[in-house]
Amino acid sequence: MQTTIALPLSVKQEIMQFGNKGESYSEIILKLIKSAKQRQLQDLLMDEKDTIPVKDALKKAKSKWRG
């Protein structure tokens, strides 16, 4: 089943900039979605919030296991 999405011409032109000759809008949008998902995963994996340096983690682990 297909649907129609109304977009301003300026958005359509932006989408076209990400495509290659012969690619459909669906292919371009799927490519953009894949890229966005990869970026979200990268951001999640590289997030340093609530982390401690490895040096501190090792020190904490060593002190915990020594006694």
pLDDT of 67 reads 55
State both tokens at 57.
């983690």
pLDDT at 28: 96
- Per-residue pLDDT, 57: 86
Residue-wise DSSP of 5-47? ----HHHHHHHHHT--TT--HHHHHHHHHHHHHHHHHHHHHH-
- In tens digits, the chain (67 residues) has pLDDT values of 999 999 999 999 999 999 999 999 999 999 999 999 999 998 888 887 888 888 988 888 888 887 5
The one-letter amino acid at 31:
K
